[in-house]
Structure 1
Amino acid sequence: MDLTELTRRLHAIRDANDWRRFHSPKNLTMAASVEMAELVEIFQWLGEDESRHLPADQLAHAGQEIGDVVLYLLLLCAELGLDMDEVVRAKLADTERRYKP
């Protein structure tokens, strides 16, 4: 996944629709949270086994919501001047140190 290319494409959409004024870190964080809540709704009343074996339509819906969350987080990283790849790799390395694989 080329995060630089994805971010460039997101910025093209943002700029073409004059959304930059709405893309403050605060707003992007809230938008990501809303999309995460939509993902939570898919699993809300399912049992453990059901949550691992979603019907095709629900699996597709989950994928859409995951995509929304990731795209908002990419926009948030860009606004904060953070490199998503570096942030994720650093966090994974920290997790590996704390919880030896």
Structure 2
Amino acid sequence: MSIESLTAQLRHFAQDRDWEQFHTPKNLAMALSGEAGELLALFQWLRDEQVSEWFEDPANRTAVEHEMADVFGYLLRLADVLDIDLESSLRAKIGINAQKYPVELARGNALKYTALAAMRPADS
């Protein structure tokens, strides 16, 4: 299923319930943040080495899938309401990040781009 068809399905879901009145950019952004918080809460207090085993439990996996779907759904609704093409926006952002995080400087470390910029040779 494409992003366009998912967006249309969510739009119709909201229209059928007369929820468009509630789907303002502010409300959708808040809902998106809330759902991201619910996803984060599933992993809260787990040590990194515990996550793989925890995720093998079908109930935990389903909970993560549902929260990720909620995040994705609200992101799609917000993009729809604001008339933002997420695919082209993501492609553009990947290009921006490629400039900020050149492979030769970013490979294998988690430094922020501002720290990487200080590592660039003076002539670049």
Give the corresponding residue for 2:80: 78
Any idea what the Cα deviations from partners look like across 1:28-65, whole Å, max 9, x if unmatched?
00000110111011000100011233122111111110
CA distance in 2, matches of 1:43, 1:19: 31
Using the size of structure 2 for normalisation, the TM-score is: 0.77
Identical aligned residues as a percent: 35
Secondary structure at the aligned position of 1:30 is classed as helix
Return 5+ residue gaps in structure 2 as ranges.
Answer: 104-124
Deviation, 1:93, is 1.5
- Equivalenced residues, count: 101
Secondary structure at the aligned position of 1:82 is classed as coil
Give the corresponding residue for 1:32: 32
Give the residue type in structure 2 aligned to 1:4. Answer: E
Deviation, 1:84, is 0.9
> 56, 59, 62: which is aligned to 2:61?
59
Secondary structure at the aligned position of 1:20 is classed as coil
Secondary structure at the aligned position of 2:102 is classed as coil
Deviation, 1:97, is 1.7
Return 5+ residue gaps in structure 1 as ranges.
Answer: none
- What is the Cα-based RMSD across aligned positions, in Å? 1.2
Using the size of structure 1 for normalisation, the TM-score is: 0.93
Secondary structure at the aligned position of 2:21 is classed as helix
- Bigger radius of gyration: 2
